[in-house]
Amino acid sequence: MQPYQQAQIATLIDFISRSTGSFVHVLRDPSGVVALIVNAVCKARTLSFSIRNKILPEDVRALFGGCTPSDGHRTRIMKIQRSEWLRQVRLFRAYLRAQMHRSYESYAAEIHFRKHLRLADQMIEFHWKLQLRLLRDLVDKVRGSATSNVHVAEGICLPDFVLEVLGLGPKFAVQPQKNKPELVSIVRQVSKRVPEDQATRIINEEPQYDYERQTTWPVVRTDTLLVEDSGNFGHLVSFFLKVPLHREVHGLRPFRFRRNSTADAEVQPLTLVL
């Protein structure tokens, strides 16, 4: 006897000792056990949904006859029923595992057991979606005030459609936040309406944006270098490099400039590291 069979047999004996009448013949067929698991899980989910949304299903209402129970009492009854349905789910799964090990070898029994559980999960999701639509219709819709009064300063006249939008709430008083592609397009539109000598500067100052990866590349600016030539005349050289720091995009590292110590000093870039 396998170690897991002792617990399963104990569960079955406990169930049989508390039950009366003949045992269910449908348990001989694995598909029947799967159907019982599906029904029990859907019943438990229905009770959980009813407890959260404070609704009373028809089958629970029938238990009280013509009397309407209080909120606390009906919640206790539904929790008890949910616990019972979940106990039956554990029982049917244990019985299904024992049935598979009785019909197949150990290595094949687990395969067939998982196959039936996958079938049960698919059926549970299908039936639960159908029941969830009916349960949502029973939930009371909370409807707030559609609009509120908008106070306008003296001397200002707003159209009616503006007052309707502002009356919906503060979040409708501002424009929606634009994403990065929209911001880039705005920069391009502005650059077309400025003088030609400033259009290039506006385009160059816009953020580098990768449309595929949805990432923004930061602009890297090298430090100002003071280069001495042979005539001991200082030149202030500022390099503004726009190179991506995202190594996964291009596989490149930003290169830096170094100063030669010889008389004929030249600024030589380092080689790119691939």
Whole-number pLDDT of residue 164: 80
Q: Is the dihedral of CA 70, 71, 75, 76 positive or negative?
A: negative
Pairing of strands 234-237, 240-241: unpaired
Alpha helices (H) along 139-222: 160-166, 180-192, 196-204
Residues facing residue 228 across a β-bridge: 234
43 C-beta neighbours (distance < 10 Å), count: 20
| Separation CA 245–CA 219 (nearest Å) | 9
Percent of the chain with pLDDT over 90: 23
E strand residue ranges, 155-274: 208-210, 215-217, 220-221, 225-228, 234-237, 240-241, 257-259, 267-269
Report residue 29 as tokens: 């067929």
Compute the average pLDDT of residues 2-26. 57
Whole-number pLDDT of residue 259: 46
Whole-number pLDDT of residue 9: 62
Report residue 39 as tokens: 């029904």
Compute the average pLDDT of residues 241-265. 43
**pTM of this structure:** 0.47
117 C-beta neighbours (distance < 10 Å), count: 15
H helix or E strand, kind and range, residue 59: helix 58-61
Above 90 in pLDDT, residue 68?
no
Above 50 in pLDDT, residue 62?
yes
CB 180 within 8 A of CB 216: yes
| Separation CA 46–CA 40 (nearest Å) | 10
Range with the lowest mean pLDDT among 32-41, 150-159, 167-176?
167-176
Higher local confidence (pLDDT), 71 or 45: 45
Higher local confidence (pLDDT), 53 or 67: 53
Range with the lowest mean pLDDT among 55-69, 78-92, 230-244?
230-244
Whole-number pLDDT of residue 17: 59
Above 90 in pLDDT, residue 166?
no
